[in-house]
Structure 1
């Protein structure tokens, strides 16, 4: 039969995080004791009051369609959260609820990009950014966040990457995979370039609640009214409230863009899952104690495991300020262990040491590995011991 796949999907690169997860699962099913450090989700269950609210909503008959942009009551809770946390004011018409933050990004790219439009993506980047841009007919333009600058880009880099085809730039703070945050001053400097050149700012803030060592998340939209008008915020409950499987995210920003996203969603998803929306209402309106409990646990794990990771021969690592990932440079370790690339090194860690990590090449940083500490401290310590032993034995 003749191949009927569209060109737009033939060029897609499979998700490296999902590929590692699938391989680790396969080995586990064969009886191997695999420790997975590839997870991009908290290991906590969703807080009980959220589960109860979703259950109650079903019992009360809230199982039908909602508006395609989401329940008005949930949009109001999101607006209240943005006012409470960042002192930002949005109307319901400036907010759309999406089927996860990933779907929010996908829909946004679909409504703002024409064929050949460029989106500037700092590296290291979350794996889906460039693929979603390409699916919308756009072209990813990469600028390198150097390790010596905490993986962050500066205004000159941004300015030099802008062309007549530039439509937007993505800022992800705290970052997946690096865990680094942009300061208010750094964001202001980048924002000035965007205002001068009139390019849209896409601010992915999904890890905003997970920051450590006294570091605080700052949204670029809260710096000035001009930057707020230039920014589309992307966020959701997945990481903050351990609701990855509920698939509730949101976008907030320019009313015209949000309306276009609503129109597109009406022809694709109809609406985000109704029950999950009621759970999200409880997430934002109820106690935030579980959020802080989880953040404290991640910070404790980070402080313990970071000190162990940097002792592995050939590993260097900047201590992250947020999210729940370590992103060590392991090029030297891979070479000392006899591997031609970090990808091969990561593959051997899985098949021989039985530790699943994600190679940095999927994030645009081929010298690094991403290690998630969203798992128990016992598992983390065992995994690091295995990696250390693996490298040490390979060096002998």
Structure 2
């Protein structure tokens, strides 16, 4: 039996993100392998294991119904816990737990959305740089497409409504654009959106009859003590067709548990996503583990500010210890952008630089072309790594500068 054409197309030209991830997995840095690869190219949070592992290793009590088939879109009691959590910690209001959908990670949620709400060739406006895993989630199987909105490096890629308006008006596919996808806080810049822009993008969506998909998976990974303002909540109150996305992989460091959350106020929209949970159900054991975390208000009130404190410290260390490099300031998330644009006249030079990082000093970082950038020389640095890896990163980056860039 031969591989299908669908699979062949899916596996065509693996990205640098996958290439770097595989190399790091095959030969990872550790105290026993100090010459191994440092993986600063994947947005994982390794800072909170000391607090999380005791919590998730606490014995769970499963009842008879937990070991049988249940609602595929999530146990009722778990959806109620998620409702309470989102209202208390992410500033969402008056959610209906019946409209909450739980699937195996946010990638599964996005692919379900691609199937449920978009036909082949429909397009989504997305600002660049962006998390290009969305390409896999939305476009690979069900062939929705992205219309890229290019943000400018002169403003550190800050969101502005003019860029969206120009892209929309000039697009030859204008009639195919159905939605806007915003990640708030933003990946990869760590920008926390200003309320002015939030109001502008909501008005833009309303004026042009576009849905707004609000990915708020980094909502609680704010470094600057700012209280999260939900773009979804503001859009819903303004009467926009708003879709809310969240997950446990980032704020709660639980990427391996594969828990993604979808919400829409409209029952028909929620039911469409519920029906697709047949393909992406989360095990009852995992759901109960998540409930054990999200229902513990005392734990959350300790965990969230400590995580934010630890995330804030590392960019300061990197900027202090590596003054020869230019980092773009970050307000949230697990990453920051390294600006080496002066070293790269084009993307061929960016690729050469990426390969030197990967093969010479064995550091994996995400090159800007993989983030949808049109300006070469930017690299995403995912810094939420253990202390010994941060120190080794500093040593290797200093060595690289002395030998290659000075």
TM-score, length of structure 1 as denominator length: 0.89
Extract unaligned runs of 5+ from structure 1. Answer: none
1:72 corresponds, among 60, 72, 76, to: 76
- Aligned mates of 1:154, 1:119 — CA distance in 2: 17
Q: For the Cα contact (< 8 Å) 1:221–1:227, is it kept in 2?
A: no
Q: Which runs of 5+ in 2 are unaligned?
A: 169-173
**1:282 maps to 2:287:** no
Matched, 1:247 2:252: no
**Superposed CA offset, 1:21-60 (max 9, x none):** 211233449963332212321113272464245x413487
Structure 1 342/283 Cα, relative in aligned 2: closer, same or farther at 3 Å?
Answer: same
Q: Identify the residue that residue 392 of structure 2 maps to in structure 1.
A: 382
Structure 2 vs 1, CA of residues 33 and 139 (structure 1 numbering), >3 Å: closer, same or farther? closer
Deviation larger for 323-332 or 78-87: 78-87
Whole-angstrom CA distance in 1 between matches of 2:154 and 2:226: 19
Offset, 1:132: 2.6
Partners in 2 of 1:62 and 1:2 — Cα distance? 39
| Residues 28 and 38, structure 2, Cα contact 8 Å, conserved in 1 | no
Does 1:136 pair with 2:142? yes
CA drift of 1:203 comes to 0.7
The answer to whether 1:264 aligns with 2:276 is: yes
C-alpha distance in structure 1 between counterparts of 2:81 and 2:310, whole Å: 26
Deviation, 1:301, is 1.3
Shift of 1:62: 2.8
- 1:86-97 matched pairs, under 5 angstroms: 86-97=91-102
CA 330–198 in structure 1, closer or farther in 2 if over 3 Å, else same:
same
Tell me, what secondary structure is at the counterpart of 2:293?
Answer: helix
Shift of 1:225: 4.1
- Say which of 284, 296, 319 aligns to 2:329: 319
Q: For 2:82 and 2:380, locate their aligned partners in 1 and report how far apart those are by CA, in whole Å.
A: 31
Report the equivalent of 1:21. 21
1:145 counterpart residue number: 151
- Report if the CA contact (8 A) 1:24-1:350 is conserved: no
Counterparts of 1:91 and 1:213, CA distance in 2: 31
| Contact 1:35/1:356, CA 8 A, preserved across alignment | yes
- Paired residues of 2:41 and 2:366 also in contact (CA < 8 A): yes
Q: 1:306 aligns with which of 291, 312, 319?
A: 319
* Alpha-carbon separation, structure 2, partners of 1:260 and 1:385: 51
Instruction: Label 1:352 to 1:227 Cα distance change in 2 as closer, same or farther (>3 A).
Output: same
Q: Is residue 186 from structure 1 mapped to residue 197 from structure 2 by the alignment?
A: yes
Aligned residues: 388
Q: Is 1:157 matched up with 2:163?
A: yes
For 2:128, the equivalent position in structure 1 comes to 123
Shift of 1:278: 0.6
Which secondary structure does the structure 2 equivalent of 1:74 belong to? Answer: helix
Shift of 1:16: 3.4
Q: Deviations over 1:135-175 (max 9, x none)?
A: 32212100112122332332232223332211111101112
Match of 1:47 in 2: 52
Distance apart, 1:379 and its partner CA:
2.1
